[in-house]
Structure 1
Amino acid sequence: MQKVYHSKRPHRKSRAGCRSCKTRKVKCDEGRPSCRACTLRRDNCVYLSSPTSTPTPSSSAVSTSKSFARLTLSSSARQSAAPEQQIHPLFRPVDRDDFDMRLLSTYTSLSYRCLTTHPNGLTQVDHVLKVKIVEHAFSNPFLMNCLLSFTATHINRVGHENMAIPSSRAIYYRARAFESYRRAIEAANPSTFPALVACSLVLCAVSSEMFRDEDAKPLYILDWLVVWRGIGLLVGMTTHKSLFESGLRVLFMRPPIDLDAAAMHVPNNLLFMVMSIADDDADASDVAVYYDTLRYLGSLYQELYNNGFNSVLDLRIVTFFTFLPARFIELARAKRPRALTIIAHHLVFAKLVPRIWWMQGISDPQIQNICHLLGGEWDSVLRVPTAALELTDLGEIAKLLFDDPAWEPPSSFVALEGTDGLALKSITGGDPIMTTSWVQNDGTEIDFVPLPGTFAYRPAATKIGDDDIEPSLLTDVLPSYSPAQVDGMAVDAAYDCIL
């Protein structure tokens, strides 16, 4: 077993590096029989002298959750009077270097918070993000790759006083995350499904960086919504029992939706857009699909109108794509004007969650590209998304959405954490008005009863995930890299890394 890793241990210069690393004047990780740099370069790794005894990690150590220790976070990591517990590995996996482990430490102390919509965190969700996901990551490399890519992107986007990520390293992490995720989906090993579901959630944030890529597709949003639907695909492949046993269940709670009530909040111009579809229109056979999708969109208007700006609204906005019918995704990817118009209106709501860094800067370019593609014929129905391009103030955006200059948000709400999810309670009193739970794609909650030694739930036929979306669609929308390309990125990253 290798030496214990501590996130804040001072760097000591290596005196026993290999000849190749010394010649190139780069840091050697002293791996045996070949260090990481020589392995990546396919060079012969020759040491000048015998190193001190360095035990190698056993396979059992890598795979067991007992190989974790609890360490107290520093006060600078969290602004809290109460000490927090954090998971760090007592070993370093053979395919990970010191930089990887520092990055993982940053994830467990900082970056994990960016995967929740609640500004102050929630005990259950925080524990899963900091502890359970990391435990799964050490036995599922595709999840570890995704966590490292997410953290590297986070650091480069918002900055970190003690760490910088070279662009070559960030690109390498992203490529490795995409490729390992793709291979895991293609392998379809049931034992990895819970980790794959968690990975699909993190990958939504990782893939958002493609919006900012110089070579990004003008309507990358159409690929991104497929990545979001990957969550439903993988949940549909995973048994409820295995998700419970994995400890990851709380990550996939969503606010329930009363679709009939939500329909009452759909803007009239969007309803007319669908009501006016003629029998000879290309969308004539998909009228029901558009109505269903508008009801999901209506739930955003309903939440904002009734409860104002709150964590549940943020969660509804972020998880909107996970509810969409599979047929609507086909219509959107075919660039049907009505489907793109609905997406443009959702992008206006996406401007209301500026706290989530990986959602920042997405809406305006995509709205502009949708408007440019559809042209003047659709200007009237795109009036709100077009006007939103000029706005950044949340209140002004809300007034635009409601077409009401006098609109004011209702009384403020505070988030309460309970055993069954997140609830909102008005500061003026009264009972909690909203919870999060396991929700089917029709917006209704799943009525389940976990029993000792068994797993039962009602009703018998529940649908959280999707069985009508092909896994190949999910992998097709991800950038593809050959093994040689990934190896080349690894070499660049190894030498550009800032320690």
Structure 2
Amino acid sequence: MGIASQTRVIYHFQFLDSARPELQASGFRLQASGFSTRDAPSTVTQEVKGRLPKVSQFFVQFFDTCKNRKIKCDEVHPACGNCLKHGVSCDFESPETPASASTPSIAAPSPVMSSASPVSTPRSSSNSSIMPLYQTPAAMVRAHSNPAVSRSLEFRLLHHYTALTSQTFSDTKEQNHVWQVDIPTIAYDAQYLMDAILAVSALHLRSMHPEDHSLIRASHGYMASSIAQYSNLLNKGLSEMNAEALFSTAALIAFQASASRRFDDDANGTYTLPLAWFHSFQGVKTVVLASWQWLRSSNRVYPIINSQPALFLDPDPERKLFFAPLLEGLEEQLATLPAESQPATRQAYEHAVSFLNWSHQKPIRNRILGFAATVSRRFVDLVGQQDPRALVIAACFFALTKMVDNVWWLEGIAKREVNGILSILPQEWWPKMEWALRVASHEGPLNEEIWGSTIRSPHENDSIKLEEEFEAGVTHHIELLASMVNGYVNKPMLEDPLIEEPLD
């Protein structure tokens, strides 16, 4: 096998490694919506393998009031931002009279789903009593308000999205048209997508008007509504009727997870790892792979997917590229681990560092942000466990975003996350943070001296030449992965040379 095929095989294995568990025939795990029980307290970390747990049970078990959760409350009435964000009842609301009951003249937003993908109501009595908490959390935005004012807010949010927010997700005219025109059109028949659009628009407006509490409530409420419906549909399964809408919703959830970090106040001054960032972007990948047989023929969302650059990573640790020092001492570390976990751990580190090198050579937004989606599930686990090496690698990823933080949903992310990771990192690992700290703390345009460059070596041009000569784009990779995961194989895929290699 040639160098190109070797590189592609390693990439495919890495990419598939993080996607396969979420695509088992039994259904999606929670990561498909960008959230995971890895973020939950230990009392809630229960068995989640197999089908997605009922959303109602998850929301009730996972979250509590601000006081019990010991987090800072913004004291917004009638419901605080944290409770709106998580779709639970708030202490500010009357426990005897829920908000939805106190305002009977204000109708909750009714789902406008396509007939092919309705959101069903759980039938168990234990779930029915809490349905208002997760089925239509957007109703909380309208509680104690004039219906005309609520409608005015929605018009304001939709206009802001089409006029401004939609233009911040891409750098090309073709993709901007998709976000501005096609995605809202798809949302006409998918209430969960419309709620996601309104939530992201409200968050964008909040970045411009941080003291406007109505925007805080709107952003939290609409996103809670979107996630609840979206998770329910993922549990039922993707189809030709909902593939476009679910992909679009997954992407907007990822944007929301990214942008929300700039507003998060860490409780008691303790830094909280941005695991939702990784889970949400991996959720986009999961939806793409599971619904690729329909998305590949979609004229509306295909331009977004096809715009992603195909990965050409150099996995050879002997080639001393820019981030090679992050792998120093790896053999000694692996020797302390159980033998069965060593291969996956090694692969997680080496793939992540290879991605950093690839992005660093040509730092464009689509390359850099692909890190969160393509790292392995094992790597995300290591970050969640606060493994020092994984934390340093993650810090370098966030430092890379400094080069492309000219959009509102990435602004300030590099400095916040790099400094936060440093605060929980063992002191002996601080020297590995030198580059990330230098880049993240730099004010003004990044120059070559600050950014650095890959270490010159005789093999440096190999990967660059391969990338220039190989014509297939990211869709070629998706075709292969989708065929392996879903059993979907089309005729051109049978001619792919990689099929001749053993994949299991």
CA–CA distance in structure 1, aligned partners of residues 351 and 164 of structure 2: 38
CA–CA distance in structure 2, aligned partners of residues 198 and 323 of structure 1: 18
Cα deviation for residue 122 of structure 1 reads 1.8
Cα deviation for residue 126 of structure 1 reads 2.2
In the alignment, which residue of structure 2 is the partner of 1:297? 356
Which residue identity lines up with residue 376 of structure 1 in the other structure? Answer: Q
| Per-residue Cα deviation, 1:361-407 (whole angstroms, up to 9, x for no partner) | 222222122222122111121222233343123324x5334279xxx
Q: Does 1:174 align with 2:209?
A: no
Cα deviation for residue 232 of structure 1 reads 1.0
Given that 1:255 and 1:439 are in contact with CA atoms closer than 8 Å, whether structure 2 keeps it comes out as no
| 1:360-439 equivalence runs, <5 A | 360-396=411-447, 398-402=448-452, 437-438=474-475
CA–CA distance in structure 2, aligned partners of residues 164 and 43 of structure 1: 20
Q: Does 1:271 align with 2:321?
A: no
Q: Does 1:206 align with 2:262?
A: no
In the alignment, which residue of structure 2 is the partner of 1:251? 304
- Number of matched pairs: 337
CA–CA distance in structure 2, aligned partners of residues 276 and 393 of structure 1: 40
Q: Does 1:334 align with 2:388?
A: no
In the alignment, which residue of structure 1 is the partner of 2:375? 324
Q: Does 1:222 align with 2:257?
A: no
Q: 2:159 aligns with which of 105, 120, 129?
A: 105
Given that 1:262 and 1:302 are in contact with CA atoms closer than 8 Å, whether structure 2 keeps it comes out as no
SS state at 2:431 partner: coil
Cα deviation for residue 148 of structure 1 reads 0.5
CA–CA distance in structure 1, aligned partners of residues 482 and 288 of structure 2: 14
In the alignment, which residue of structure 1 is the partner of 2:242? 192
Q: 1:280 aligns with which of 330, 336, 344?
A: 336
Q: Does 1:183 align with 2:218?
A: no
Given that 2:310 and 2:474 are in contact with CA atoms closer than 8 Å, whether structure 1 keeps it comes out as yes
Which residue identity lines up with residue 176 of structure 1 in the other structure? Answer: S
Change over 3 Å in CA distance of 1:144–1:237 after alignment to 2:
same
Cα deviation for residue 159 of structure 1 reads 5.5
Q: Does 1:157 align with 2:229?
A: no
Given that 1:112 and 1:130 are in contact with CA atoms closer than 8 Å, whether structure 2 keeps it comes out as yes
Given that 2:402 and 2:440 are in contact with CA atoms closer than 8 Å, whether structure 1 keeps it comes out as no
SS state at 2:441 partner: coil
Cα deviation for residue 171 of structure 1 reads 2.9
Cα deviation for residue 275 of structure 1 reads 4.9
Q: If each structure's helix is expressed as a fraction of its own residues, which one has the higher value?
A: 2
TM-score by length of 1: 0.58
CA–CA distance in structure 2, aligned partners of residues 215 and 343 of structure 1: 19
Given that 1:277 and 1:287 are in contact with CA atoms closer than 8 Å, whether structure 2 keeps it comes out as no
Cα deviation for residue 338 of structure 1 reads 1.1
Identity rate, percent: 18
Given that 1:208 and 1:224 are in contact with CA atoms closer than 8 Å, whether structure 2 keeps it comes out as yes
Q: Does 1:352 align with 2:403?
A: yes
CA–CA distance in structure 1, aligned partners of residues 243 and 428 of structure 2: 45
CA–CA distance in structure 2, aligned partners of residues 389 and 432 of structure 1: 34
SS state at 2:335 partner: coil
CA–CA distance in structure 2, aligned partners of residues 132 and 288 of structure 1: 39
CA–CA distance in structure 2, aligned partners of residues 344 and 248 of structure 1: 31
Given that 1:128 and 1:247 are in contact with CA atoms closer than 8 Å, whether structure 2 keeps it comes out as yes
Which residue identity lines up with residue 222 of structure 1 in the other structure? Answer: L
Change over 3 Å in CA distance of 1:459–1:394 after alignment to 2:
farther
| Per-residue Cα deviation, 1:112-166 (whole angstroms, up to 9, x for no partner) | 01111x1xx322x122212221121111111111100111111221369xx9954
CA–CA distance in structure 2, aligned partners of residues 133 and 345 of structure 1: 33
Q: If each structure's strand is expressed as a fraction of its own residues, which one has the higher value?
A: 1
Q: Over alpha carbons, which structure has the higher Rg? A: 1
In the alignment, which residue of structure 2 is the partner of 1:133? 183
Given that 2:348 and 2:375 are in contact with CA atoms closer than 8 Å, whether structure 1 keeps it comes out as no
Which residue identity lines up with residue 364 of structure 1 in the other structure? Answer: K
Which residue identity lines up with residue 223 of structure 2 in the other structure? Answer: R
Cα deviation for residue 342 of structure 1 reads 0.6
CA–CA distance in structure 1, aligned partners of residues 228 and 327 of structure 2: 41
TM-score by length of 2: 0.58
In the alignment, which residue of structure 1 is the partner of 2:37? none
Structure 2 gap segments, 5+ residues each: 1-97, 117-147, 455-467, 484-488, 499-504
Given that 2:399 and 2:439 are in contact with CA atoms closer than 8 Å, whether structure 1 keeps it comes out as yes
CA–CA distance in structure 2, aligned partners of residues 213 and 180 of structure 1: 24
| Per-residue Cα deviation, 1:314-370 (whole angstroms, up to 9, x for no partner) | 211122211112221222222211111110111111111121210112222221222
Change over 3 Å in CA distance of 1:232–1:278 after alignment to 2:
closer
Higher relative contact order (CA 8 A, sep 6+): 2
Given that 2:355 and 2:371 are in contact with CA atoms closer than 8 Å, whether structure 1 keeps it comes out as yes
| Per-residue Cα deviation, 1:199-241 (whole angstroms, up to 9, x for no partner) | 1111111122431222577233222111110011111221323
Cα deviation for residue 175 of structure 1 reads 2.6
Given that 2:273 and 2:421 are in contact with CA atoms closer than 8 Å, whether structure 1 keeps it comes out as no
Change over 3 Å in CA distance of 1:115–1:334 after alignment to 2:
same
| Per-residue Cα deviation, 1:417-439 (whole angstroms, up to 9, x for no partner) | xxxxxxxxxxxxxx999996425
CA–CA distance in structure 2, aligned partners of residues 332 and 248 of structure 1: 31
CA–CA distance in structure 2, aligned partners of residues 462 and 394 of structure 1: 44
In the alignment, which residue of structure 1 is the partner of 2:197? 147
SS state at 1:391 partner: coil
In the alignment, which residue of structure 2 is the partner of 1:76? none
CA–CA distance in structure 1, aligned partners of residues 302 and 491 of structure 2: 15
Given that 2:361 and 2:453 are in contact with CA atoms closer than 8 Å, whether structure 1 keeps it comes out as no
CA–CA distance in structure 2, aligned partners of residues 167 and 153 of structure 1: 7
CA–CA distance in structure 2, aligned partners of residues 151 and 228 of structure 1: 19
